[in-house]
Structure 1
Amino acid sequence: MASEKTTTKKRTKKSGSAAKTTLVIVESPAKAKTIEKYLGSKYVVLASMGHLIDLPKSRLGVDVEHDFVPEYLTIRGKAKLLKELQKYAKKSDRVLLASDNDREGEAIAYHIGNAIEAKNEGLPIRRIVFNEITPQAIRDAVKDPHELDEDKVNAQKARRVLDRIVGYYLSPLLWKKVKNGLSAGRVQSVALRLICEREKEVESFIPEEYWSLEADFKKGRYSFTGDLVSYKGDKVALKNEAEVRAIMDAVGAA
């Protein structure tokens, strides 16, 4: 009986496209290195190094006639970095915005998210926050992505717009009246006005003589001191020693 020869054929599976990763965007390059080490090879962590988009430097950049709408531009020197983030986002399954957990950080996340979405429509973009750079804190944050905090974004926008309006209109006045190069801030300008107004009040103050009348009372083992605040139904405002003596004599004679 002839033997049956069996053969095996090696089959190879065609590999698909390279596995995509999650892009995490933080502010600090130092944080980026540490966080990427904690998260592993399925994550790419890049740094924005602060704001990438802001109001223009050369003009007001706020439409004061139409609800104070701000005009945002890519900051000079940051366009290359923004394009790099957009490029990495295109290679990713999702983007996690991990800028600092405050108003400025929320605004940074907002602008970067919008810029990435403009080039990568439909890409999931979420926000994560953490208060410490530890493996557990980072992993917990990645497990709990959420939407941007619109209240924080609007708060930062309002602060930025007010800073710009105050500085844009008041700083040139300082250059003309005080010294070139000075800047007027939203908070410091109001604080300085309050200080100046108070100083004017102090300088214009005219001191007036004022007297008070006290009496010690005792009943049994209890005693206390009382101040005279009214006399014969009228509020007392003693302006000289003669008025004090007159009341003392009247009370003593009663």
Structure 2
Amino acid sequence: MENISVLLQDPAAWIALVTLVVMEVVLGIDNLIFISILTNKLPTEMRERARRIGIGLALVMRLALLGTVAWIVQLTTPVFEVFGQGFSWKDMILLAGGLFLVWKATKEIHHNVDPVDQKEDFIASSASTTFASAIGQILLLDLVFSIDSIITAVGMTPHVPIMVVAVVAAVTVMLVAATPLANFIEKNPTIVMLALAFLLMIGTTLIAEGMGFHVPKGYIYAAMAFSALVEVLNMFARRKRERDRQLKAVVH
């Protein structure tokens, strides 16, 4: 058992903690976008409860995974090769998670852009998204991101208590931000499409990582931040045009 008092007096441990918390929070953005889109398809009275239960169970799962750090690290060992390319359990998990995200995002984009089938698809999609299936999908995707983030965390610090604190802090931020983000996405239809595009890009990145191509996450989050900034500017422009129209209507 690690000596907690020694860690508290170690400046390097504090730096590792802050770095891990920031990393976990940033990685949690992917999860939050998915959770927001998924739970918004549930009846209004179920949405917040689904978010809390899903994120709460995700926390329990992450803490359980931290108890098996030694086993998780071994998931990076190749188990078979295809055309000279080695594939580990981590690679296969990333591939499965990436394919699931691409399928889910593509399906939701189709529902949003098809003017003929949009209403029927939305009804069918809402009916198929039950409370239990929403929780299951949240946990499934969180498993993919958790394994990836834990392996990254092991490379940053060998201290499990630091990882535990970082995970708890990140999940707490997710719990606080989940409902406001979901409400914001629901009230702004263009944000929904942007969020789905993010999920599509993240899914493609996971597939690339699973195939052995390293994609620096800084590029991904920089692209997401730039796209979000452009959309915010568009929102301000739309609101200004709407205020101008209302003002002209009052004058005339």
Higher helix share: 2
TM class, shorter-chain normalised?
A: under 0.3
Higher strand share: 1
Q: Which structure's CA Rg is the greater one?
A: 1
Superposition TM-score, scaled by structure 1 size: 0.23
Higher RCO by CA contacts (8 Å cutoff, separation 6 or greater): 2
